[in-house]
Structure 1
Amino acid sequence: MPDSQLPATQHWRFETDVEGIGWLTIDAPKGPVNTLSRQALAELETMVTRIEDLAASGQIKGVVLLSGKESGFIAGADISEFDSMADFSILPDMLRRTHSLFARIEMLKVPVVAGIHGFCLGGGLELALACHYRIAVNDEKTRIGFPEVNLGIFPGFGGTGRSIRQAGPVDAMTAMLTGKPMRASEARAKGFVDKLVRHRDMLRWEGRKAVLQDRRAKPAGFAKRVMAMGPMRDYVANQMRKSVARKAPRLNYPAPWALIELFEKKGNDWRAMIAGEVEAFVPLLSSETATNLRRVFFLTESLKKQGLRGVEKPNFTRVHVVGAGVMGGDIAAWCALRGMGVTLQDLDLDRIKPALARAKSLFRKRLKTKEEIDAAVARLEADPAGKGLARADVVIEAVVEKLEIKQKIFAEAEAKAGPNAILATNTSSIELERIAEALKDPNRLIGLHFFNPVAQLPLVEIIRSRFNTDRQIALGSSFALAIGKSPVVVRSAPGFLVNRVLLPYMMAAVERVEKGENKELLDAAAVAFGMPMGPIELMDTIGLDVGKFVALELGHSVPDNSQFARLIAEGKLGRKTGEGFYKWEKGKVQKADPPDHPNLVALGRELVQPLVDTTEIVVREGVVANDDLADIGVILGTGFAPFLGGPLQARKDGRA
């Protein structure tokens, strides 16, 4: 029965039943996801005040907190409010007020139980940790974690101390420092969750039992807590710094370093850890890094709004890939991993077998159970005869960069594929109009340009030719989203977006090596600037033969007497052959230590200048629609320093 003494709120519903259990439901009025906006938190204060009165008078035995959204529990704080809150005159009071609110929930004499399904992230997990007991649905949709570090901050609603209390310092700090969400079973094993259920419809029943039995979560045991005591805490903090330094230099990403310092000072007392959040958190939210990472977040989210929606939203179930080389095989494996039936075609079975072996390795890394792995293996079928072409929803060509071969493949595909199937090429440099000359209906051909390694890089360039309609491009974007990739639409032009901007950067670095500069130093400088790897290692990773082909396509010369050309002539093509500019062992680059340099970041800025300049040119030429799409495309496709917000944003800020 609804509690009539509660004022109406937009985000929360509260009712009590005949057993004296209070049911508190969050259901934000706009959008499919719950977030803890300032209004939602203010309304929760009202709810908690009423619940305190009911508990004090004995009118309720406890409270179960649930979500009314299909998508999940709570996805975190409302990121759209962060810019307005990044103010020293507003933020500290807001954080302390939320700390007080969550402490009031924790201090209720009656049990408060959180029932979790789907997303339980950031502030949502912090609220759940303030409850006395947590129940989660153990399925693929449930994801629990602290992604704040990806936005240049760390948990600020008390999550630092409460996660350490429940999971122990190592597991809690690892969750906060990596930002990786956990499955329900992992969260249960680490102490973030107390009980698992199989289905969402079991949350109410188990929540009821937890209230009636007055269940309370137990904090982490001594074996875990000892890692935050005395000298052990200093040791753990130093190990964390070493791990963080490899991926997030302090100058570029201050949040994990600030969190480690907070832990080092106060990690043995979870309440002191919570109190220390405010002082450490406030300068992070307004930092340039956090501002740029929020921009990257919103740009990434905007890509998810592309594609066909509503009644027109397509249902992709079968994919046919032509070409079982590294790219084609890995595209096929990724589509199978994402649940689609895939047929993989090449000249004979021997050419397909290595791709199947790589796919099985990917499945073993990404999937948790033997049943899941076996199901993914079964979804990927060797198809040298191309029988799967006729029943595919999407046909993807990923063969060598030779125009006549691609034209032949698509002439056959057009004749055999269903009339509504997408025909897509993974060409990295050839203009689509040239490939489409072989088709009766050139509108059917689009570009789906994936990046190596397919399983790691999220970008897919949706290449639009002058023949394509808006609907055909929206179909391509829908497919990219269906397999968990981020689509950026670009116009058909040599090199498209990513290769167009990468080649001048890599070739300029190669030319410097040709003139005698130290390749290890150049790579170290690019990494110091913020790139995920240096340009010479990147050329080796892509393959020198591929690099030369794309360079020639884009009008760059490769002199026959150059070291670059000689390496290719000797079959030293980089990582895939075990040697290029570097030697490679078991897929790992072998590098000497770089010589000393007075300013690696400045040298790195100099190295990326051709990339930044070319990005401006690409936007000016209309290859990509605007600066925002150029920035997010280059970040997702090359790993360009996210903390700088993209090459064009970095130039605006005077940092590139």
Structure 2
Amino acid sequence: MLAGLDGLRFSHWQAQSRDDGVLVLAFDRAGESVNTFAQDVLIELDTLLERLALDPPKALVIRSAKAKGFIAGADIREFQAFDAKGTIGDSIRRGQSTFQRLAELPCPTVAAIHGFCMGGGTEIALACDYRVASNDPSTKIGLPEVKLGIYPGWGGSVRLPRLVGAPAAFDMMLTGRALPAKAARGIGLVDKVVEPALLVDAAAALALKGTTRPFKQRALARLTNLWPVRQALAPVLLKQVARKAKKAHYPAPYALIETWKRASGDTRALLSAERRSVVKLAGTSTARNLTRVFFLMERLKGLGGKAGAQQAPIRRVHVVGAGVMGGDIAAWSAYKGLEVTLQDREQGFIDKAQARAAKLFEKKVRDEAKRPEVTARLRSDLAGDGIAEADLVIEAIIENAEAKRALYATIEPQLGHDALLTTNTSSIPLDELRAHVQRPAQFAGLHYFNPVASMPLVEIVHHDGVAEATIQRLAAFCKAIDKLPVPVAGTPGFLVNRLLFPYMLEAATAYAEGIPGAAIDRAAVDFGMPMGPIELIDTVGLDIASGVGQELAPFLGLQIPASLATPPEAGKRGKKDGQGLYTWEDGKPKKPDLPKDYRAPEDLQDRLVLPLLNEAVAALHDGVVADADLLDAGVIFGTGFAPFRGGPIQYIRETGVDTVLERLRTLQARHGDRFAPRPGWDAAALREG
């Protein structure tokens, strides 16, 4: 131990001197399974670095003592607490000053990165002179702060552009994308990539020997940060951002670009500009709501945690129905490591599903040598022989209760003792299905969303007779295939479709009145929806929308416009046929241009959004989910509902219950009783949070 550290006791950091004079500083946050930066961690590190500055070793290597990755970033729990207290500026100042002290140490410094390195983890690595990363597939380096409504505020937005050049730096910071070790080395973020077992030795050797980065990398980094170049590049970056996000909705990317464009001076001046900008962003509703969404996601991930892990694991899956949903459910399960058999009434349907699966595997499994192994896990099973071996059977046939019940009668006698039977129905109440099931305790809904590969949510649909162990096993299964589970009651439409239906129905009603589809879609996107409802109807399919409508309209007491009242003509079901409410080409809708002087009705956005909010209140009142947070999580991850608004219930809270009610009643007076407030608007949950 170096003399400068004698007598000091550390809770989170372990210092060890090597024979070559290199000091290895291992981060091992006490009481946590993952390394994150809390304030006491930073204070301890700052004290330690202060001593090292007075008595420096030959070199310093920073590594993680945790098996689970390098550093996950800042402790978001503290971030949320500091925001509530208005002390976020102090937190950012401490992180900046600590990492700057590291950057100014009078000895070479190296970050030895293995596993995930995110946010503050990447920022401390940037404050080092060099970076060495392991070539393990788990090693990923990123700055995801934009997903929380801010941007790197501990020096990352200052140091990364100067290290790798502005184009590569902004690609990372504006997208939140994490890079594997090889890609990070390719842009100059990492100096060396080695086997995990050699990581610390390689870092120590690099610290003692040093290295010179390629001339092209150094020249690009210098050139793209010159004042005139920044003035030219910034507008290009702003245009790129504007195509994906509105400044009013997501201000962080715009603030990041503007701060980089305008700030000048030495490192401390640049850090000061960074700090002021990030503190301002942290106080916005967007940052608060995106932070809330982060915790909602963590809660859903936790549902498949300890309780589910205690249940028998699901390793073999049998899917009945090789249509788009069933085939994609089977393909995703195989991709995630499960043994899957796929059944349908004709081999042709299975062949088409396997062809789609091959495209998924080609896209997701970059290593061609591993693709055959993944492909082999998805087996054609026309006869249904896989039922007897399956831990889980997923039914994904047509939305017809009688057909489903008939299928269950043939499946159940073949099931193993512990096997679960589930349905992917999108709207049929489970009470209509479970009444004829022999083992209702082991029967539930497992409702995926289209497209399966990109939609993160799965609704676990329960009923009065289902066993808690079944729900836990299904939650653990969702976790195993990287999906977010939300338990919902088995009432018509469950959660997501119940809320989406009034939204889509009002869009179809407005469309029938002659309001152009492009205007309807624009109003929804302006609110923050990922796509407009007319485009959504075509994407889901007019046939599916019509079928769901037949189930939900009577339950919700709504009238269906002619466009959804009957199944569509053959070849006009929407995106999948190339023709629906829009004409589709190359997977994209051709929306007629609106006349330049066209003005949409001023209440159009309210007409679309308020029915969804109204039904959210009713669903919470009816106990479709256990609480308001689960409702918001389900709707955000199941529909893409504007994350920066925090979910339907959170939006009602921020807007004000009385304000939203007044807008509903205005619509009711103008357009009819379908806008009448539903039961539940007096709930305390709407005024909390």
User: If the length of structure 1 is used for normalisation, what is the TM-score?
Assistant: 0.94
Equivalent position of 2:157 in the other structure: 160
Equivalent position of 2:653 in the other structure: 652
Q: Residues of 2 paired with 1:593 and 1:268: CA distance?
A: 47
Question: C-alpha deviations, 1:612-644, integer Å up to 9, x for none?
Answer: 000110010011111111111001111111111
Question: C-alpha deviations, 1:513-548, integer Å up to 9, x for none?
Answer: 111112110110000001011111111111111111
- Please state whether the residue corresponding to 1:256 is helix, strand or coil: helix
Q: 2:63 aligns with which of 52, 63, 66?
A: 66
Equivalent position of 1:604 in the other structure: 605
Question: C-alpha deviations, 1:35-80, integer Å up to 9, x for none?
Answer: 111111000011112222331xxxx221211111121111011111
Shifted more, 596-605 versus 282-291: the winner is 596-605
Q: Quote how far apart the aligned CAs of 1:600 are.
A: 8.7
Q: Residues of 1 paired with 2:2 and 2:474: CA distance?
A: 47
1:379-398 equivalence runs, <5 A? 379-398=377-396
Shifted more, 423-432 versus 213-222: the winner is 213-222
Question: C-alpha deviations, 1:300-325, integer Å up to 9, x for none?
Answer: 10111113527615433322211111
Question: Is 1:181 matched with 2:178?
Answer: yes
Q: Residues of 2 paired with 1:193 and 1:313: CA distance?
A: 42
Equivalent position of 2:439 in the other structure: 441
Question: C-alpha deviations, 1:165-192, integer Å up to 9, x for none?
Answer: 2221011111100112222222121222
Equivalent position of 2:578 in the other structure: 578
Change in CA separation of 1:184 and 1:390 when aligned onto 2, cut-off 3 Å: farther
Contact kept? 1:319, 1:340, Cα under 8 Å? yes
Contact kept? 2:116, 2:138, Cα under 8 Å? yes
Change in CA separation of 1:408 and 1:224 when aligned onto 2, cut-off 3 Å: farther
- Please state whether the residue corresponding to 1:304 is helix, strand or coil: helix
Q: Residues of 2 paired with 1:561 and 1:11: CA distance?
A: 63
Equivalent position of 2:82 in the other structure: 85
Q: Residues of 1 paired with 2:273 and 2:211: CA distance?
A: 29
- Please state whether the residue corresponding to 2:553 is helix, strand or coil: coil
Change in CA separation of 1:627 and 1:94 when aligned onto 2, cut-off 3 Å: closer
- Please state whether the residue corresponding to 2:150 is helix, strand or coil: coil
Equivalent position of 1:193 in the other structure: 190
Question: C-alpha deviations, 1:77-105, integer Å up to 9, x for none?
Answer: 11111233237973434433332221221
Equivalent position of 1:34 in the other structure: 35
Shifted more, 101-110 versus 524-533: the winner is 101-110
Shifted more, 513-522 versus 207-216: the winner is 207-216
Equivalent position of 1:204 in the other structure: 200
Q: Residues of 2 paired with 1:599 and 1:292: CA distance?
A: 29
Q: Residues of 2 paired with 1:69 and 1:348: CA distance?
A: 51
- Please state whether the residue corresponding to 2:133 is helix, strand or coil: strand
Equivalent position of 2:494 in the other structure: 496
Q: 1:469 aligns with which of 463, 467, 470?
A: 467
Change in CA separation of 1:563 and 1:113 when aligned onto 2, cut-off 3 Å: same
Equivalent position of 1:222 in the other structure: 219
Question: Is 1:11 matched with 2:2?
Answer: no
Q: Quote how far apart the aligned CAs of 1:439 are.
A: 2.4
Percent identity over the alignment?
Answer: 44
Q: Quote how far apart the aligned CAs of 1:210 are.
A: 2.1
Q: Quote how far apart the aligned CAs of 1:202 are.
A: 2.4
Q: Quote how far apart the aligned CAs of 1:577 are.
A: 0.9
The residue identity in structure 2 corresponding to 1:211 is A
> Which runs of 5 or more residues in structure 2 are unaligned?
661-689
Q: Residues of 1 paired with 2:133 and 2:601: CA distance?
A: 47
- Please state whether the residue corresponding to 2:70 is helix, strand or coil: strand
Q: Residues of 1 paired with 2:463 and 2:540: CA distance?
A: 25
Shifted more, 565-574 versus 539-548: the winner is 565-574
Contact kept? 2:109, 2:207, Cα under 8 Å? yes
Change in CA separation of 1:599 and 1:404 when aligned onto 2, cut-off 3 Å: closer
Q: 2:426 aligns with which of 425, 428, 435?
A: 428
1:237-636 equivalence runs, <5 A? 237-266=234-263, 273-307=270-304, 309=306, 312=310, 314-555=312-553, 562-565=562-565, 568-595=568-595, 603-636=604-637
> Which runs of 5 or more residues in structure 1 are unaligned?
none
Equivalent position of 1:43 in the other structure: 44
The residue identity in structure 1 corresponding to 2:573 is L
- Please state whether the residue corresponding to 1:208 is helix, strand or coil: helix
Change in CA separation of 1:238 and 1:40 when aligned onto 2, cut-off 3 Å: same
Equivalent position of 2:24 in the other structure: 23
Q: Quote how far apart the aligned CAs of 1:245 are.
A: 1.5
Change in CA separation of 1:600 and 1:46 when aligned onto 2, cut-off 3 Å: farther
Q: Quote how far apart the aligned CAs of 1:225 are.
A: 4.0
User: If the length of structure 2 is used for normalisation, what is the TM-score?
Assistant: 0.90
Q: Residues of 2 paired with 1:366 and 1:560: CA distance?
A: 40
Q: Residues of 2 paired with 1:6 and 1:524: CA distance?
A: 65
Q: Residues of 2 paired with 1:459 and 1:164: CA distance?
A: 36
Q: Quote how far apart the aligned CAs of 1:449 are.
A: 0.4
Shifted more, 92-101 versus 515-524: the winner is 92-101
Q: Quote how far apart the aligned CAs of 1:458 are.
A: 0.6
- Please state whether the residue corresponding to 2:55 is helix, strand or coil: helix
Shifted more, 302-311 versus 116-125: the winner is 302-311
Contact kept? 1:527, 1:604, Cα under 8 Å? no
Contact kept? 1:133, 1:217, Cα under 8 Å? no
